[in-house]
Each structure stands twice: as structure tokens, then as C-alpha cells.
Structure 1
Amino acid sequence: MKKIALISMMMLMSVATFASKHVSNDAVVVADTIYYSADQLSVSDASQASYYRLLMTQGNGVDKKDVFKDYYMDGTLKAEGGYNFVDLGNDKNTIFNGDVVTYYANGKEKLHGKYVDGKRNGYFTVQLREGGVAVVKYVNGRSAFDHFMVTRPDGTQEERPLSEIRSLLQ
């Protein structure tokens, strides 16, 4: 019964992930382009950068949100979502808030999850290169379990130690 519920939940999350668009096309750019190197430090020139960021606002009044879009240097979308604070010198200190999605260099979705004041909260899905999906549950910035679940394209599932999650994000 647990496996059926988990499979159903992961399938729904995958469908919801593909159907959602986090930063709308009508968002307004509010700052100059920020360039970052591969080690997430700010650089002053595009020739030294690994990716760049646009900061925008989306919506009006009480619905107004601060959002960002990161791009690989070839213009392919790298990440998008909400934020509370962006460190212009060191991107490792940026505080995300709301849904955030990251993408592989080929444009396919990589990671999708929600942040609350910089802390991961809820289910994060990782679309694996070989086609499977990994799911990790976070509560207040910490993993709820010492493992995560992987569902392969053939429907088989495997519980994996949490220590392996970083290797999947490479």
C-alpha cells in the first residue's frame, strides 16, 4: 500500500512539474545582468562567467514576487524561481523563496522544489539523466529521512542512502 501511494504521489508531482511555469513571460527585469563563475562567485565580465542571472518582479500589489532566471552562457535556461535575497558577490549566499526549478544544459528539467526563506521544504524531485526520478522530502531545510526514493523508467523503485543525492545533481 505504501509503494502504491508513493508511486502515485511521484507520478502526480512529475506531471505537475512538467505543467508548471514558474516565472511568467510578463515579469519585469529590475536589475542589470549579474555574471557568476562556475564556483558561484561574481565576475565583472561575461567572458569570465559560467552563467548569468536576471532579477525580475512578477505580479502587482500583494501578489508581487521577486523572481530570477539564470541562463547558461549559450542562452539556455539554467534555473528559475523566487528569491528573498541575492548575494551579488557570492551566489552560495542567495536565499531562495518559493518554487525553484533547475535545468540541465540540454534544457531538460533537473530539480524542482520549494524553498521557504532559503530552506528546502516539501518534496524535491530530481529528473535523472537516464530517465528515472528521485524524490527527497525536506522539512525546514533538512531531509525528513536518511534515504530518498528512485523510480526508474520501468516503474521499479529503490531506496538509496541520502549521501548519494549530491552525485545525482552533478
Structure 2
Amino acid sequence: MTWTDIVTWIGTGITIISMIVTMLQAREAKSAAAHAEQMRGEISDRNAHSQLSSLSGVLSAAIRAMDKYGPGTGSTARRGCSPRSDAAHVRALTGEMKRLRKLLSERFGSEADDLINRINDLLVQFAEASSTADRDKFGCDIYNELVEFNGNIGNELDGNIFG
């Protein structure tokens, strides 16, 4: 055997060892990429959960503001209240919903946009009501929409927590 044969065999051995190391590193990189993707998904879910929790707080404030117009309440429940202030809480909610429109669309589909539009239409009618009875009716409708949406948000948050 000549020195060139020895160098060839050594080069071939180094090449085989390099190939094995490369394959091990590629497998490790693939595993790390899958783990990173899983972590990214978890972070995204936690962020969405946090934003929905924040929205739930604004929604609760809007429900409390419109509670006096809810079913079974009388005019005495609305004594001393300010319809403008009540409407402001609901407008704050719809503003937050618009800000989170992409997330809400992912979680609830087109129903979120429909809900925002329905609530805004009801708010216009609530503000332009010609009589107290009309305002009470539109307030009750807004209240019902908010309570239903609150249940949907609650189900979504519970699903994130309890699986």
C-alpha cells in the first residue's frame, strides 16, 4: 500500500464520521425545531387567552352597565342612571372587540363581526330612542347580546384552561 492509498482511506473514514455527525446534528435540529414550534404555539395560546381574559373584564363592565335594562328589571332600577355612561361602557367593549378582531375571528368565526355590528346598531337605536320605553327595549336587547357573548367567551376561556 502506498502513502496515497493510506491518505485515501483516512479521508474516506473522516468523511464517513463527518456524515454520521451531520446526520445526528440534523436529527437534533429537527427535534429542536419541532419543540420550538410547539413552544410558539403554546405562547400564542397563552397570549390569546390573556387577551380574551382582558376582553372578558371589559365585557363584564358593559354587562354591569346594561344590567339595569335587562329582563325583569323595572324603571326603578334605572333611577339616577346615565344612559350615556351605560352606552360608553358598551362602546369601550366594541372598541376592544375591534382591536381584537383577528383573534375573535379565529376563535368565533364571522359571528364576532356580526356581533359587533349588531351591538353598534343597537347602540345607535339606544341613543336615538324617542321614549324611555324604546330605550329600555334597546338596552334589554344590548344586555341580552352581551350576556350571550359572555357565555361564549367563558366557554372559550374554560376550554383553554381545562382542555
TM-score, L = length of structure 2: 0.26
Q: Point out which structure has higher relative CO (alpha carbons under 8 A, 6+ apart).
A: 2
Question: Larger % of strand: which?
Answer: 1
TM-score, L = length of structure 1: 0.25
Larger gyration radius, structure 1 or structure 2 = 2
